[in-house]
Amino acid sequence: MLTQKQHDLLIFLDKTFKETGVCPSFDEMKDYLGLKSKSGVHRLLSELENRKFIRRLHNKARALEVLTLPSQKEVPSNLIPVANDDVIAIPLCGRIAAGLPIEAIRYPSETVAVPAQMMGLGDHYALTVDGDSMRDAGIMDGDTVIIRRTDRVPNGTIIVALIDGYEVTLKRIRANGSSVALEPANPNYETRIFSADRVEIQGELVGLMRSYK
């Protein structure tokens, strides 16, 4: 199980090695991933090393070795046409906590059919909600939320937030300078506050589907 950033970094490392024979610099990795600081790169590399995808050669500067790649080497297409012109199939990327953060998003093994009018421009994916911390925003346990990929949103937007590179949750964001507050929509849960470099925006909520079966 890899997060989007971990997967992208691993593919970038492998591609750079094959094309140039050398490891990219931390600045190159940071810029490629769109991160704000090198600390995010260090965290991602540590996760990949712990999961045996890479090995750091500590006797050499800027030396890394890619040991293995995930079985699904490429991020799948986010928009897959289906028979009905009014419906689009998008990846269903596992469960997301609307409560306490849970393990980060999995790579999709299936798709979900979504009405085309529910989505605008951009790449989209779906997640199944686990928990009730966004209850008062109308988001219930078991709902399927539709997410548009973006890393920039206005304050007050409900987002998919990746915390410290491995925890993912659905919350309303309030950014204030160097800190970020992730707000629930249920008085039984507390707002959590993080330094800005610990939180990555993975997308914004644009739609919701619910089954009554």
CATH label of the domain that carries residue 27: 1.10.10.10
Query: Higher confidence at residue 182 or residue 82?
Result: 182
Question: Model confidence at 186, in pLDDT bands (50, 70, 90)?
Answer: very high
In terms of domains, do 133 and 50 share one? no
Residue range 95-137, pLDDT digits in tens? 888 776 555 555 555 788 888 777 777 788 889 898 899 999 9
In the residue annotation, 171 being an active-site residue is answered as: yes
What is the extent of the structural domain holding 35?
4-66
> Mean of the pLDDT values across residues 66-90?
58
In terms of domains, do 116 and 190 share one? yes
Query: Higher confidence at residue 35 or residue 86?
Result: 35
Structure tokens at 188: 């039984």
Q: What is the pLDDT of residue 125?
A: 87
20 pLDDT above the threshold of 60: yes
Q: Is residue 122 part of a domain?
A: yes
Question: Model confidence at 80, in pLDDT bands (50, 70, 90)?
Answer: very low
> Mean of the pLDDT values across residues 186-204?
93
Paired strand residues for 71? none
138 pLDDT above the threshold of 60: yes
In terms of domains, do 107 and 166 share one? yes
Question: Model confidence at 199, in pLDDT bands (50, 70, 90)?
Answer: very high
In terms of domains, do 99 and 169 share one? yes
In terms of domains, do 109 and 157 share one? yes
113: Cβ–Cβ under 8 A, 6 or more apart, which residues? Answer: 82, 84, 87, 88, 89
In terms of domains, do 127 and 61 share one? no
Q: Is residue 75 part of a domain?
A: no
- Of the three residues 12, 39, 66, the one that is the final residue of a domain is 66
Q: Is residue 76 part of a domain?
A: no
In terms of domains, do 155 and 97 share one? yes
Question: Model confidence at 79, in pLDDT bands (50, 70, 90)?
Answer: very low
> Mean of the pLDDT values across residues 7-31?
84
- Of the three residues 13, 41, 66, the one that is the final residue of a domain is 66
In terms of domains, do 61 and 86 share one? no
Q: What is the pLDDT of residue 179?
A: 95
In terms of domains, do 127 and 181 share one? yes
Catalytic-labelled residue, pool 37, 133, 178, 195:
133
Q: Compute the C-alpha angle 61/66/70, nearest 5°.
A: 150
In terms of domains, do 89 and 35 share one? no
Domain total of the chain: 2
> Mean of the pLDDT values across residues 65-90?
59
Q: Is residue 22 part of a domain?
A: yes
With beta carbons less than 8 A apart as the criterion, state whether 8 and 16 touch: no
In the residue annotation, 38 being an active-site residue is answered as: no
Catalytic-labelled residue, pool 171, 178, 195, 211:
171
Q: Is residue 74 part of a domain?
A: no
Q: What is the pLDDT of residue 76?
A: 37
Q: Which helix (H) or strand (E) holds 92?
A: strand 87-97
In terms of domains, do 90 and 121 share one? yes
Q: Is residue 8 part of a domain?
A: yes
Query: Higher confidence at residue 117 or residue 191?
Result: 191
CATH of the domain at 133: 2.10.109.10
**Phi, psi dihedral angles at 12 (to 5 degrees):** -65, -45
Q: Is residue 73 part of a domain?
A: no
Q: How far is CA 120 from CA 87, 114, 148, 157, in A?
A: 13, 12, 9, 16
